[in-house]
Amino acid sequence: MAEITDSIEVPEPGRSQDDGKARRGKRGKKGPLGRLALFYRQIVAELRKVVWPTKRQLSTYTTVVIIFVIVIIGLVSVIDWGFTEVVKYVFG
């Protein structure tokens, strides 16, 4: 039988292949101010991706939400009144 001479070395869990010689790239270790600046830049980049609604869309969405909240308040109030009447009748 032929022996297999080629092998793939797998690093131990928790260790990198280059034995602790970490390369510093864009995401290398930075000081607190560097990390804060990176965080701020990432926030700004994400906010640029947001599709902001127009004034008309915003007023429409706001109106729909307010109407929905009023309807839910009315529904909960009616259910609460009904339970109150049932409890008055049972324990009354």
Per-domain residue ranges of the chain: 53-91
The model's pTM is 0.51
14 versus 68: which is more confidently predicted? 68
Q: Is pLDDT of 16 > 60?
A: no
Of residues 51 and 5, more confidently modeled = 51
pLDDT on residue 32: 87
Q: How far apart are CA 2 and CA 74, in angstroms?
A: 82
Interval 31-75: pLDDT, tens: 889 999 999 999 999 999 999 999 999 999 999 999 999 999 999
